A and B are shown apart, each in its own frame.
Chain A
Amino acid sequence: MIELTINGTRHRIDGDPAEPLLYVLRDDLGLYAAKFGCGLGQCGSCTVLVDGKPAQSCITPIAALEDRVVMTIEGLGSARTPGPVQQAFIDEQAAQCGYCIPGMIARAEALLRADPRPSEAAMRDAMRPSLCRCGTHMRILRAVRRAAVAMGGGIVDPAEPVS
């Protein structure tokens, strides 16, 4: 029995301690925001926040998460009341198919918590592990910049012009 704190709620998981968090979220708890993209730690679709840092939940065993705080993007806001990073992603229309987007938002949230006023290089570096095949990178980066400004930090470099 492992106790996990996810989005502020405690869950008792009667599973194999080696089971990756992603499968617990999706198959046991019905929390589908974190996506299965590869199960191999290669794409970032499954990214969640663990103690505020980005973690690929598909390769994070639940045994490693006791006494830690897990946050999925369900914990950041909802479709009706989106959180600031989610709102920035809406405003910049960063989602195309949307499958990579929850992982991108989790990663952006973690970045802005650690570095509220990121440089362009820091932003691209932080977002790099998450893949997007729709090619909406420019909109995602704009959303991160917008969120940085909205959350009071700001950005170091001026945003590139995009209409």
Chain B
Amino acid sequence: MRLPQDDTFNSPDTTNLLDRGSQGVIAKPLDRPEGPLKVSGSATYSAEWKSDHCAEGVLVLASIAQGTVKTIHKDAVLSMPGVLAVLADEAMTRRSTQGTAGEAPVQGVQTVEYFAQPIALVVAENFEQARDAALTLEVEYAPSDTPVAFDPESADAEVELAPDTEPVEGGDLDQAMRDAAFAIDVEYETPGHASAAMEPHATIAQWKGDDLVLHGSYQMLSYNVKEIADCLSMAPENVRIIAPYVGGGFGSKLGITHEAVAAAIASKQLARPVRVVMTRQQVFETVMRRSETRQRIRLAADETGKLIGLGHEALVSNLPDEEFAEPVTQATEFLYSGENRLLKVDVARISRMTAGSVRAPGEAVGMQVLEAAMDELAQATGIDPVELRKHNIADKVPVEGTPYSSRMLAEALDQGAKAFGWDQRRPKPCQTREGDWWIGMGMASAARVNMLVEAEARVTLKADGTALVETDQTDIGTGSYAILGQIAGEMLGLPIDRVKVLLGDTSLPAGAGSGGSFGAISTGSAVLRACEMIREKLAKALGCTEDALELKDGLASGGGKSRAYPDLLAGKDLAETGSIKPGDTADDFSQASYGAFFAEVAVNAFTGETRVRRMTGAFGFGRVLNAKTARSQCLGGMVWGIGSALTEELAFDLRDGHLVNHDLAEYHVPVHADVPAIEVILLEERDAAASPLQAKGVGELGICGAAGSIANAVYNACGARVRSFPLTLDKIIPHLPDPFTEAG
């Protein structure tokens, strides 16, 4: 029996409670309950809440990169039709908030730190008037006398070790490289990426006395409340955020952004609701970018292909003093063997919008490069790429010596290879030609760290025998509504249509939020614990031990007795709040979700155009909570992998740091014509150290290495080893063989 206060996850949970349930709803590929709302246009997203007498705000962005706002010629626009206010309040934010910050980002919009930084908000009766005034507004600036570099590679960019990190150093990597039978020493680069969630950031702010209510598009509400409160110097208790439906996040909505604080300030000043919706360009220019990276990989292998040394050094960038640095080497730390190692991330201080989390920070770009370099090692050693990886699965985390929790890397490699038909691959490039197209296959491992974070949820078994799950956890498309209902349904013995889930409102207990793939397992663990407490009470009411209790279809049985819930509860609701906190298991074990990607591509022999023809992914991430939503997460991640491999790239002007491709016409996300048949295999696994659900995160796993498999397939197809992502035509063409060569 678990005591209610025992909420820290200090030791692996091998009770596998969810496997003892009788209801049979956990893991099932159940539909998301909000599906009908979404297909009929009746799910209410942030900008769509009705509020009477709502004014509209439009952000004004700086037209310089660095300096000070001297004068804003407000009067000229205040006389324009409908214009209500021009705000340049020092509480407004000039940088975006990092995920889980729980405090204000850098505020003050008089100082300009990067091109297109927000500097003011214009508010008017309607959107058109506000936009017109924002475009008309004249601003005078004074240039900065302490310039910051625009190019992370330039000599005047200050470079330092990533804050709060230490290089991982073991043995002697240089010596290992000299001793190695096979040594790879290569440099790759990846460009900046944008989250590009389809719903632009939007907030409707409204005050009721001292209380602020925000309808907005955010991923982590309990942190966001603190961030807003800190920005406005008010108590978090006076802030309420409502966000039941969020149109995608992918990191960009982890922390609060500029429109939220600006809307709150304007609403207070005007004493009426204010809505601020960012334009698509503003989202690109001001919210969050994934840093570009330059990565040096060194692989030292003995004659059997076993790694004796591994180096992964990266240069990323961010604004001065910003603590976040893309954790490029995060999965390299534990993925493969090689005791002689050096892993390190440096950050260049530059003047571009804030760099922060974009889906799978670290692994998304680190794994794609590591796995491309592993393909180079496979080529050098002549070992099959799948075998090479299996050969290098470590027994314990190199250097640190930490044991692993459950790991499915070998299984994913084997099952993925089998399903894909890897044995059909011809090891050398330029062996298969179909008309104008070279055909090739490539693969990569997948890995993403697992995180359990603090979360709370309330579960009420109602007197009528239905259940209600309540938490401020968000569902950003991930499936929280479905999954949390399934956990409660399984634990309380209720069919899914008797469980209701309320999310996305900070008046409810604080869930984990959606980020870092930890939402489902953390908030889900809190739901599980609330249900455990309810089960104890039901057992007591029925007069049996908890072990003997069986709950199914709203009927409690045990000790030879059987009673329906309404009867057992005798007219009273039974409510419990469960909570989880990370504990010793986080340090005692190396925990991660694993998998493998397989891709087949066609590369045009004349133009270098690359089409992904099919992909297979096999993934092990502990218990599958909902096979349908988990599969969707994997599919979505692999689609991102196609984008990272072939098209996605933020382009900055190195003269002033401005983002050149700030919209969806110029930043190319994959579309229907780019997405081939993708097969996803979900492996059976229980990871007792990962969470009380024995589940691990899956929201980001599908991207972590996917682009590497595509790059490796391009090499296998046509022999082009391109060390700069994305693999656009111009980069492939110089490596192409004579298009009139015969295959083989």
A17 at the interface (CB under 8 A from B): no
Contacts of A96 in B (CB 8 A): 248, 477-479, 632, 636
A12 at the interface (CB under 8 A from B): no
Choose one: A27, A38, A80, A141; the contact of B36 (CB below 8 Å): A80
B515 at the interface (CB under 8 A from A): no
Q: Given A37-B199, A77-B40, A79-B36, decide whether A133 and B671 contact each other with a Cβ distance below 8 A.
A: no
Contacts of B35 in A (CB 8 A): 89-90, 93, 95
Choose one: A34, A82, A93, A128; the contact of B673 (CB below 8 Å): A128
B137 at the interface (CB under 8 A from A): no
| Interface pair A42/B39, CB less than 8 Å apart | no
| Interface pair B636/A36, CB less than 8 Å apart | no
Contacts of A163 in B (CB 8 A): 631
The B-contacting residues of A in range 66-88, CB under 8 angstroms, are: 72-74, 77-80, 82, 86
Contacts of B673 in A (CB 8 A): 124-125, 128
Q: Given A132-B198, A138-B675, decide whether A73 and B477 contact each other with a Cβ distance below 8 A.
A: no
In the docked arrangement, what's the CA distance between A128 and B631, Å?
22
Q: Given A99-B45, A128-B672, decide whether A105 and B39 contact each other with a Cβ distance below 8 A.
A: yes
| Interface pair B40/A78, CB less than 8 Å apart | yes
Choose one: A93, A102, A140; the contact of B628 (CB below 8 Å): A93
Chief secondary structure at chain B's binding surface: loop
| Interface pair B675/A137, CB less than 8 Å apart | yes
B320 at the interface (CB under 8 A from A): no
In the docked arrangement, what's the CA distance between A124 and B672, Å?
6
Contacts of B280 in A (CB 8 A): 37-40, 42-43
B635 at the interface (CB under 8 A from A): yes
Q: How many residues on A have C-beta within 8 angstroms of the other chain's C-beta atoms?
A: 63
Contacts of B44 in A (CB 8 A): 32
Contacts of B636 in A (CB 8 A): 96, 134-136
Question: Quick one: CB contact mask for A122-146 with B, threshold 8 Å, 1 for yes?
Answer: 0111011111111111111100000
| Interface pair B246/A97, CB less than 8 Å apart | yes
| Interface pair A73/B40, CB less than 8 Å apart | yes
A57 at the interface (CB under 8 A from B): no
Q: How many residues on B have C-beta within 8 angstroms of the other chain's C-beta atoms?
A: 59
In the docked arrangement, what's the CA distance between A23 and B126, Å?
11
In the docked arrangement, what's the CA distance between A84 and B250, Å?
31
Contacts of A136 in B (CB 8 A): 632, 635-636
Most buried by B among A94, A123, A125, A133: A133
| Interface pair B677/A97, CB less than 8 Å apart | no
A35 at the interface (CB under 8 A from B): yes
| Interface pair A133/B677, CB less than 8 Å apart | no
In the docked arrangement, what's the CA distance between A86 and B43, Å?
14
| Interface pair B128/A19, CB less than 8 Å apart | yes
Question: Quick one: CB contact mask for A91-128 with B, threshold 8 Å, 1 for yes?
Answer: 00111111111100100000000000000000111011
| Interface pair B198/A34, CB less than 8 Å apart | no
The A-contacting residues of B in range 110-158, CB under 8 angstroms, are: 126-128
Contacts of A98 in B (CB 8 A): 34, 37-39, 43, 245, 247, 477
Q: Given A95-B39, A162-B677, decide whether A37 and B639 contact each other with a Cβ distance below 8 A.
A: no
A56 at the interface (CB under 8 A from B): no
Q: Given A30-B50, A97-B246, decide whether A135 and B41 contact each other with a Cβ distance below 8 A.
A: no
Q: Which A residue sits closest to B50, measured CB to CB? A: A30
A26 at the interface (CB under 8 A from B): yes
Q: Given A26-B48, A82-B40, A101-B39, decide whether A35 and B632 contact each other with a Cβ distance below 8 A.
A: no
In the docked arrangement, what's the CA distance between A26 and B49, Å?
11
Most buried by B among A73, A74, A135, A136: A135
Contacts of A131 in B (CB 8 A): 198, 664, 669, 671
In the docked arrangement, what's the CA distance between A34 and B246, Å?
15
Contacts of B40 in A (CB 8 A): 33, 73-74, 77-79, 82, 86
Choose one: B37, B198, B675, B678; the contact of A133 (CB below 8 Å): B198
Choose one: A23, A82, A93, A134; the contact of B32 (CB below 8 Å): A93
Contacts of B632 in A (CB 8 A): 93, 96, 134, 136, 139
B679 at the interface (CB under 8 A from A): yes
Choose one: B31, B478, B671; the contact of A93 (CB below 8 Å): B31
In the docked arrangement, what's the CA distance between A77 and B39, Å?
9
Question: Quick one: CB contact mask for B37-76 with A, threshold 8 Å, 1 for yes?
Answer: 1111111110110100000000000000000000000000
| Interface pair A95/B38, CB less than 8 Å apart | yes
In the docked arrangement, what's the CA distance between A141 and B678, Å?
12
A160 at the interface (CB under 8 A from B): yes
The B-contacting residues of A in range 6-41, CB under 8 angstroms, are: 16, 19, 23, 26-27, 30-40
Contacts of A135 in B (CB 8 A): 635-640, 670, 675
What are 6 sample pairs from A and B whose C-beta atoms fall under 8 A apart?
Answer: A36-B200, A42-B280, A98-B43, A99-B247, A135-B635, A137-B672
Contacts A99-B199, A131-B671 aside, 7 further interface pairs with beta carbons under 8 A come to A33-B40, A97-B246, A99-B45, A128-B671, A134-B248, A134-B636, A161-B677
Interface residues of B (CB under 8 A from A): 31-32, 34-45, 47-48, 50, 126-128, 195-200, 245-248, 250, 277, 279-280, 476-479, 628, 631-632, 635-640, 663-665, 669-673, 675, 677-679
